[in-house]
Each structure stands twice: as structure tokens, then as C-alpha cells.
A and B are shown apart, each in its own frame.
Chain A
Amino acid sequence: MSEHEHSEHIVPPSLYLVIILTLMCLTALTVAVAYIDLGRFNIVAALGIATIKATLVVLFFMHAKYSPKRTKLVIFAGIFWLIILLFMTLSDYASRVDYRGVRYPMSQNLTLTHAPRS
């Protein structure tokens, strides 16, 4: 297969240092943002920052940036399949409607999560 692409691109320690400092700052940011009320966007912010951190780790610490195309394909496949698992199952829960027309069970009104008595 492709011969020379993985012949050792060595990442310099200075880059690692930049990445780790960035990661620490992003961690501090995550905690800070958690104390600000963004309503439903708190989770978006938290997961967004986590994803940026994870991306930095994958690209630089795990050398994915310098890896052959098939490695990138493998990474993409993993993420894509995780999304299939989460998204399609959640689509069931998110679109359930019981006989009262109530979105159940993922309704936030928890007095409705008890089985209807009638």
C-alpha cells in the first residue's frame, strides 16, 4: 500500500507543550461556563468544548494529523457509527406520543411519567 507517508513525522515537544496548555485553558473555560446560565445551551457549550479538546488530543497527541488516510477513515467510521447509535435511538424516544398526545416518556413534566391510571 502507500509506502512513505507514515515514515515518522516526529512532532516536536514544543507543539505538545502548546497543546497541553491549550487543553488546560479549555478545561478552565468549561468550568467557568458551567457557572453561567445559558439555559439549554449549557450542554451545547460543555460538549462543544469537550469536542475541541478531544480533537486536539486525536490530531496531535495521537498523531492523526500525520497519519495515512485509512487511519482517518477509521476514526471517521467510529464517530459516524456512534452518531448512528445515539441519533437513531433518540429519534424513537423523541417522537413517542402516547394516547393523550403527550410526548412520553421524554416529557419534562414528571408527573406524567407515572403510568396513566384509568
Chain B
Amino acid sequence: MSTSSTINTGPALKLPEKHYLNASYGIRSWLLTTDHKRIALLYLASVTFFFFIGGFFAMMIRLHLMSPYGTLLSADTYNRMFTMHGVTMVFFFLIPSIPAVLGNFLIPLMVGAKDLAFPKINLLSWYIYIIGGSFTLYSMMTGGLDTGWTFYTPLSTIYSNSAVAPAVVGVFITGFSSILTGLNFLVTVHTMRAPGMTWFRLPLFVWAHYATSVVMILGTPVIAITLGLAAMERVFGLGFFNPAMGGDPILFQHLFWFYSHPAVYIMILPAMGVISELIPTFARKKLFGYHFVAAASLAIAVIGFLVWAHHMFLTGQSTYAALAFSFLTFLVAIPSAVKVFNWTATLFGGSISFDTPMLYAFGFLGLFLVGGLTGLFLGCLGIDMHVHDTYFVVAHFHYIMVGGAVMGYLGGLHFWWPKITGRKYPEWLARIAALVLFVGFNLTFFPQFVLGYLGMPRRYHVYPPEFQVYNVMSTAGASILAVGYLLPMIYLMWAAFYGEVAGNNPWPATGLEWTTPSPPPTENFEVTPVVTWEAYDFHNRPELGLDVLGVPRHGGMLPAHGDD
């Protein structure tokens, strides 16, 4: 069957004596840290917390939807469930997850710097995230809100009786966390690369985060002003979205989606960056078409800003504008497709091993493909007429965000866990968990494509009884998915303390981060590295212990199966 890529050679490895985790002790050394690696772990704890809160709301939705007659929750409570699920997952999990956890940890290491450009601003961005999260938690505790995560007016500004204001304030504040993270990354990549680390030697993870940061910087302020105006309208009676004063609710939607569409690229680009690291490593082959993938990241970021009104095809907006946005939506699929082709081409002729991160990468490839293609269906005006606001849309974006972004996040967590903690996770348990997750995910969301096509609307607390069988399948899948999420939470935590010591480069992989000890010292590099090799260059790096074909050297034979 498959072999693991770690080579069992020599005596047992030991953790380095001093590293960023034991450099100082005490809660103050964590809460007042400016070390990007510690801040990444602070974020890891917080995003995981919000993930489980969002997951709780998802559970409530799926449990309720087992019955077509809406027996578990009232209509009003159901509205609050899907709203809070969306708000928590989008703003407090998906947008920060990979950039704030993996990006923060890895970008200085990958560019060869001692830290990000602005370490104190990095810490500030975490605190801002926590404060924003607190406002939103407060909103939840005072009854939650029922407007949908999209806060459409005039429901959110005039008619809703729920805790809109604190939630809007919470999201507004958290937006600044995103902006500061993006700012830090952009400046770091521009000014803090090590000697020899030219733009085209950067790992594609860095390119992906650069593109993500461009989106964060240019898009997030617009949702800030939009929510600000909505809050002003709710509290002080300003009238831009109020038809009674001559205002236009569609203006809110334009402003909202101007950010929220690029926001989905904030969620997926980092995951694509992770995949660009995983596939070359586990195919032992240079990434095919490096320049194309780098350019595609930027193209997605730019074109992604030009398509937002495809969320508004049924609002009565101008047909001519709709045509333009539909065309641009088809255009934005092209760079994503370019990436998928390049990843696939990388696999061809490679020496593939099926370690857990690679399983997540494969999962990503298939599920992102489905999600992306169904996005094209939605971008087509005629089809969207039929499936807009149905479960087809729900399935589409969950395929991308869960099947894509979350798989990328988990794959990345597993891949870099040895670097972050110095220890390996249990490989076989991890592979089983990945499979459980994959099965659970598809069982949850594939029936939703069928439901949407058959006409079941989203955000309704009841549905026609003939749809029940698909809903029950979906709920069953959700419980399996939950197991798939709980398992890594448990074993990754366990492995952080008791896992097998990993050494500098257990995979082996080619990035600069793998040249440091695991876990790295606080200052990352004792001596500033000088880079003389290209990215993913397995062949010219004899220290990685790979032969000409990228196969681990072991007397010409592949290492024995069962490495633990």
C-alpha cells in the first residue's frame, strides 16, 4: 500500500533545548508576546473556540431540519441559528483561520526573517479579534440575531427585534484584525525577505497570502463602512438604506457584497497556498508551472473584486449590469482552474505518498472542483433564477469553504504540526480521521445539491415532506463530520505533548522553515539565511536525502512500511 515519507534512520531524535515554546513561561509571556509563532498559537486557540461555537449552531440547524414540520425550534429561533452559524463561521473562523494561524507562524520563517514587519501590531490584531468576538458572543447571549449573516436591510436596520447592534459592532471591530494582519503580511513580503529570496523563489504559500492580504486591505474597509452605516441607521436614523426616506436597500447589498465576495477569496486563497506546498512535497516533484500559479493567485485577488453582484441577480438590478457581472464571474473561474491543472500536472510522474496532509490535499482537489464548477452554474443567469436562495447555493459554498478551505486548513495543520510542536501526530489515526471527515462531508452536502435543484429554499424552518429523506441523510452526514473534526482536535493536542519527536524536516520538504529546528527558536534563524535555490527544488538539495527521482535514499529501495 502506501508508504510514509519519513525515513527512520539513526538514533531517536530529541527536541532542541531552547525554542519559542519554552523561551519564557507564565501567562504574561503569552498574552504580551510579540513572537509571531506564539501569536499564531493564540489565534489557533481562539479560532478553534469559535469553530466549535459555529459548529454547535450547525448542529442545531441539522437537528431541526430532520423533521419537515419544524418541531424542534420555532421559526424565530431557527433564524437565529443559521444567522449565528454564518456570522461565527465566516468572520471568526474562515477568514482568520489559515492566515492568522499558519500564515502568522510560517511567513517569517518562509521568507527568512526573524519576525513579521510589525510584531506589536500582530499582537494588537489578536486582541482586536478577541474584542470583536466578545461583542458577538454578547449578541449571542442576549438572544442572537435573526437577519442572516448578510445583514440585509431594512430587516437589520429597521424591523429586526434581535441583538443586531452588538453583532454588527463585533464584526466591524474584527475587520480591523483582518486589515492589520493583511498589512503585516504585505509589508513583510516586500521588505523582509532574506538575501537571495527573490520574489520567484518564494513558496507559493507566501504568494497566496500576499494575494489574500491585497484582498483584505482593499475589501475589508468597505464592509466596515457598510456595517457602520447600517448601525448608524439602526441607532441614529440615517437613511441611506431606508426606502421611506428615498434610500435604497440594494445599495446596502452592493456595498456588502463588494467586500463579502472578495472575502470568499480571503478564505480560499490561503488554502490553495497550503495545497501548493503539500502537493510538491508528497509527490516529491517541483510544482508544475510555478509562475502561472503565482500569477493565478494575484488574478483571483483582482478579478474577485469585479464579480460581487452575482449575489444580487434576483434583486431587480440592471439586466445589463447582471450580464457584465455574470461574464466576469466566468472569468474568475479561469485562474482557479489554472491552479487545479497545475497541481494535477505536478502529480503526474511524481513519487506520491499518502500521508495525512496529502489525503487532505486530494480531498481538496476533488471537493474544490465540485464546488468551483457548481459556482459556474450559479454564475449563469438563467440557472441562478432557478436555484438562487435554495440549498444548491448552500451546497456550493460549503463544498468550497468546508471541502476546500477547511480541508486546506487541516491539511496544513497536520503538515506543519511537527514544525509547530516538534512532534508528529499519530499517522494512522489521522488518516482514518481524514477519511471519516471526507465521507461525513459528502454525505452532509451532496444531498443538498439535489435538494436545491428540486427547489428547497434556504433559511426556511419548514419544508415539503418529500424532501425529508435528503435532509435526514444530510443530518446523518453532519454527525459523521463532527466526529471527523473532533478526532484531530483530540489527537493533535495529545501529539503536541506525547507525539514522536519529529526533527527538523520529517517529510522532507524544501521550504526555509524546514531548515530550522522543530520547534524553532524565538528568533527563527540564528544566522540570516542566504537563499541560493529555487522553490520546490528537490533535486539540488542533497541535504534532504532524496535521490534524482525525488525518492528517499535507502539503498535504492523504498523505506519499509509502518514507520512508527
Contact = CB atoms under 8 A, between A and B. Distances in A.
A97 B193 CA distance: 53
Q: Main SS of chain B's interface residues?
A: helix
Given A81-B305, A105-B248, A91 B324 contact: yes
B305 A92 contact: no
Contacts of B321: 88, 91-92, 95-96
B190 interface: yes
A95 B318 contact: yes
A1 B191 contact: yes
Contacts of A94: 318
Interface string A1-23: 10000000000000000000000
A93 B251 CA distance: 9
Contacts of B191: 1
Contact of B318 (A1, A78, A96, A113): A96
A84 B305 CA distance: 8
Contact of A113 (B246, B258, B309, B317): B246
A5 to B, nearest CB: 13
B255 to A, nearest CB: 8
B246 A85 contact: no
Interface residues of B, number: 22
Contacts of B489: none
B271 to A, nearest CB: 24
B222 A84 contact: no
Contacts of A100: none
Contacts of B305: 81, 84
Contacts of B246: 113
Output the residue of A78, A88, A97 with the most chain B CB within 10 A.
A88
Interface in B202-218: 214, 218
A25 to B, nearest CB: 33
Given A91-B318, A95-B318, A105-B248, A1 B258 contact: no
Contacts, number: 44
A1 B306 CA distance: 32
Contacts of B193: 1
Contacts of B218: 77-78, 81
Contacts of A84: 305-306
A78 B320 CA distance: 27
B254 interface: yes
Given A81-B218, A85-B258, A105-B248, A95 B190 contact: no
A40 interface: no
Given A70-B190, A77-B218, A113-B246, A92 B306 contact: no
Contacts of A77: 214, 218
A91 to B, nearest CB: 5
Contacts of B309: 88, 92
Contact of B254 (A81, A92, A113): A92
18 contacts: A1-B191, A70-B190, A78-B218, A81-B305, A85-B222, A88-B306, A88-B324, A89-B251, A89-B255, A89-B258, A91-B320, A91-B324, A92-B254, A93-B318, A95-B320, A95-B321, A97-B319, A113-B246
Given A88-B309, A96-B316, 18 more contacts: A1-B190, A1-B191, A70-B190, A84-B306, A88-B306, A88-B324, A89-B254, A89-B255, A91-B318, A91-B321, A92-B309, A92-B317, A92-B318, A92-B321, A94-B318, A95-B321, A97-B318, A113-B246
What are the 8 tightest A-B residue pairs by CB atom distance, in nearest-first order?
Answer: A92-B321, A95-B318, A96-B318, A95-B320, A81-B218, A89-B254, A92-B318, A92-B317
